[in-house]
């Protein structure tokens, strides 16, 4: 009887051991299958986004070629300037938020024809809002036709004033607008030169200055959202405003060659992914239209500042030193900040060196040893503007 019990126990033990071994083997196999599926899904997403980006770049290049048929210099929007063309490509506006100028140009056969076009362009640019720009811009219409991968997050652009609150104290009446346009388009103000692209045509231009306080007025449009996101991410309001000013001069249509988009110049494939994952616990790429929405842009830009200050640079102890590093890193990346101290991209190695220095010494090291000149200038500009916006908004 005892022998039978021991035999049964032995068999059960063997079976249990085999069962456990089989279970662990199945677990490993299931894990590897899931890992393979995830990697395949990730690669598919990356391939889809790459194709989407290539299609966008092709459309962008083709649009420039179309413009080149009319213009000697096919200008496009940048970080600090918003350039838009009419559907026929013969009239364009260039709003430079940094220089505070509005340049209107049109290609015409006579000054009379040109003046009418310039008047229409001026009336449009000083009253149009961000939503109508997104919906009516010829380039955006072309880009909208490209099939977008389902994994890319998009959003509508909400209606916000661009120039109307700078030019007019309150929403202009029709008579206010006509009076302003007539005053700014007097014949003596219109200049012209011969077109090198189109025979028997001239390029007529008009240069208009924005009010001196245009930048401050633009910042006020975003105060409510900046205050909300700065509080949410435990950041100074003045830092968010200083970054925004330095990135785009509050140009809601900001686009760099990288490309980065919007007020705080978010790059979809880098800061965009990191910020979206931090905010919503999902690894996603966002579209340009998502980032042209000011609320989304400020939300993601503030989130990225939080990640830099509280995560990527957390080992830097002195708050002022960490702030200087954060400002530089927003422009050039945390790895390049580390390089200024260690000639490597490793922040863990850089942190002890930074912690052995005063905040003034850290600032001076960044200004002298950052790998590129642009982040040095950027650090100087943002640091000064933090003080300016602290006085304005606290």
> What average pLDDT does range 147-160 have in this prediction?
93
pLDDT in tens, 57-81: 999 999 999 999 999 999 999 999 9
Residue 150 confidence (pLDDT) above 80? yes
> What average pLDDT does range 337-355 have in this prediction?
97
Share of residues in the chain with pLDDT > 70 (%): 89
The widest CA-to-CA distance across the chain, in whole angstroms, is: 119
The residues that bridge with 153 in the sheet, in sequence order, are: 286
Return d(Cα 209, Cα 288) in angstroms, integer.
29
pLDDT in tens, 260-291: 999 999 999 999 999 999 999 999 999 999 99
Residue 349 confidence (pLDDT) above 70? yes
H-type alpha helices, the chain: 2-68, 111-125, 130-136, 138-144, 164-167, 174-184, 214-221, 223-232, 237-248, 273-280, 288-292, 294-307, 319-332, 334-342, 347-355, 359-369, 373-393
pLDDT of the residue at 331: 97
Q: Where are the domains of the chain?
A: 1-68, 81-211, 215-393
Please indicate whether residue 12 or residue 329 has the higher confidence score (pLDDT): 329
Alpha carbon 234 to its chain's center: 21
pLDDT of the residue at 5: 60
Residue 27 confidence (pLDDT) above 80? no
Paired tokens of 359: 């905040």
Return the SS3 of 170: coil
Q: Is the pTM of this model over 0.75?
A: yes
Residue 8 confidence (pLDDT) above 80? no
> What average pLDDT does range 376-382 have in this prediction?
98
pLDDT of the residue at 46: 76
The residues that bridge with 204 in the sheet, in sequence order, are: 106, 192
The answer regarding whether domain 215-393 maps to CATH 1.10.530.10 reads yes
What pLDDT band is residue 16 in, cutting at 50, 70 and 90? low
218 CB-contact burial (10 Å; exposed 0-12 / middle 13-18 / buried 19+): buried
| In contact, 67 and 61? CB cutoff 8 Å | no
């Amino acid at each position: 009887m005892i022998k039978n019990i021991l035999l049964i126990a032995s068999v059960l033990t063997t079976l249990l051991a085999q069962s456990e071994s089989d279970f662990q083997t199945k677990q490993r196999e299931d894990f590897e299958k899931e890992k393979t599926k995830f990697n395949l899904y990730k690669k598919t997403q990356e391939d889809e986004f790459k194709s989407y980006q290539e299609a966008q770049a092709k459309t962008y290049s083709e649009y420039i070629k179309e413009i080149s048929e009319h213009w000697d210099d096919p200008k496009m929007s940048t970080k600090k300037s918003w350039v838009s063309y009419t559907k026929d490509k013969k009239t364009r506006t260039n709003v430079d938020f940094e220089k505070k100028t509005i340049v209107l140009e049109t290609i015409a056969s006579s000054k009379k024809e040109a003046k009418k076009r310039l008047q229409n362009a001026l009336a449009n640019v000083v009253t149009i809002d961000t939503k109508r720009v997104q919906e009516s811009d010829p380039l955006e219409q072309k880009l909208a036709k490209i099939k977008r991968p389902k994994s890319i997050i998009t959003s509508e652009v909400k209606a916000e004033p661009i120039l109307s609150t700078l030019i007019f104290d309150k929403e202009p009446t029709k008579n206010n607008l006509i009076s302003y346009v007539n005053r700014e388009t007097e014949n003596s103000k219109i200049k012209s030169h011969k077109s090198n692209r189109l025979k028997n045509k001239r390029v007529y231009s008009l240069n208009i200055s924005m009010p001196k306080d245009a930048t401050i007025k633009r910042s006020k449009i975003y105060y409510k959202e900046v205050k909300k996101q700065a509080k949410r991410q435990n950041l100074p309001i003045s830092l968010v405003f200083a970054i925004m000013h330095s990135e785009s001069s509050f140009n809601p249509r900001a686009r760099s060659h990288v490309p980065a988009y919007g007020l705080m110049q978010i790059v979809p494939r880098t800061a965009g992914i990191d910020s979206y994952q931090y905010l919503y616990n999902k690894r996603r790429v966002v579209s340009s239209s998502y980032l042209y929405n000011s609320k989304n842009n400020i939300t993601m830009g503030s989130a990225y500042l939080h990640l830099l200050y509280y995560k990527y640079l957390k080992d830097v102890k002195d708050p002022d030193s960490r702030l200087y590093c954060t400002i530089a890193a927003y422009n050039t990346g945390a790895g390049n900040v580390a390089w200024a101290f260690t000639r490597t991209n490793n922040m863990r190695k850089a942190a002890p060196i930074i912690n052995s220095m005063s905040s003034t010494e850290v600032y001076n090291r960044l200004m002298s040893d950052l790998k590129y000149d642009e982040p040095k200038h950027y650090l100087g500009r943002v640091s000064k503007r933090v003080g300016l916006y602290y006085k304005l908004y606290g």
